[in-house]
Amino acid sequence: MLDEENRTLGQMADGAFASPYHFSRLLSRDVGEAPVALRRRVMLERAAWRLRGGATVTETAWEAGYESLEGFSRAFTRAYGHPPSADTDAHVWLPAPNGIHFHPPISLWVHSTEQTMNPVTDQLVRHDLDDVRELIEHAKALSVEDWSAVRMPGHQVAAWEGPEESIAAVLERAVFAKEVWLAAIEGTDFPVVDHAADPVALLARQEAVAGRWLAVVRDIDRRGAWDDQIIDALCDPPESFVLSSIVTHVLTFSAYRRQLSRIWLRTAGVDLDDGDPINWMRRDR
């Protein structure tokens, strides 16, 4: 299935001397993952390893079986929370229902005690990251005036965070929320950021924080730490938070900010989709 020449279900089935239907049914039943999905995931893990070894995005995309850089970039970003051009030193393994992973240089590793995140939680987190990134990308088409224009005087999402009256303010807060909660969870300093960032600078911040946020949520789930608490010394006075409530908090307010910024972007003349996770899930499948 992972042979370089077996890039389609038909080619995989031929190699196993089986019909595509029979091959897919047996493998899905015994491994818990459809063969094409399993191959795609393992090849993305190999791609992440190759990028960290100095390979270019173009050659890595071709090796992973993608016919376009755009398709590879979308698939990689969805899986890791950041584009391949912004790859980090994070673990290359992606969540797997069967524990089967890429092991360099050309082997597989089967993790016998693998636990995977609830698919609903995983989709909510990854869709949020993708959608924020896309909205900022669309916002790059705005003039400086439209980006920072007050569209709802006095509007606040959360009383303690101050006014969010513009597209700039709403999208910046969608990014900043993850930056500040990561500081609390990881025990790092309170982030010093530019709340007046333009779309290009904000996109760079989004790409820097997205992979870290996805990795932290996956680690919480892997350790079964949803009910753990942190005592946040950044608050005055210090305050305790349950990890599951932090993730729910971020997703809830981000969903509102994303849809509000959509409305305002359309008002500013930007043509964009509805942000429906159903359509998001259909991409690159």
pLDDT for 247-281, tens place per residue?
A: 999 999 999 999 999 999 999 999 999 999 999 88
Look at the pTM and tell me if it is higher than 0.85: no
pLDDT of res. 11: 87
Which of these ranges, 6-10, 56-60, 145-149, 267-271, has the smallest mean pLDDT? 6-10
Q: Most confidently modeled of 5-9, 21-25, 182-186, 200-204?
A: 200-204
Q: Which has the higher per-residue pLDDT, 261 or 38?
A: 261
pLDDT of res. 72: 92
Q: What percent of the chain has pLDDT over 70?
A: 95
Q: Which residues pair with 240 in a beta bridge?
A: 231
pLDDT at 285 over 60: no
Enclosing H/E stretch for 39: helix 35-52
pLDDT of res. 107: 86
Q: Which domains does the chain have, with CATH numbers?
A: 9-110 (1.10.10.60), 119-282 (1.20.120.450)
- State mean pLDDT over 29-35: 82
pLDDT of res. 126: 92
State the pairing for strand pair 107-110/100-103.
antiparallel
- State mean pLDDT over 202-220: 89
C-alpha to C-alpha distance for 197 and 173, rounded to whole angstroms: 11
Do the Cβ atoms of 240 and 231 come closer than 8 Å? yes
- Angle among Cα 45, 49, 52 to the nearest 5 degrees reads 140
Strands (E), the chain: 100-103, 107-110, 229-232, 239-242
C-alpha to C-alpha distance for 138 and 132, rounded to whole angstroms: 10
Q: Look up tokens 């949520």; give the residue.
A: 217
- State mean pLDDT over 90-112: 84
**What's the CA dihedral at 130, 274, 252, 128 to 10 degrees?**
-10
pLDDT of res. 157: 92
**What's the CA dihedral at 87, 207, 58, 11 to 10 degrees?**
80
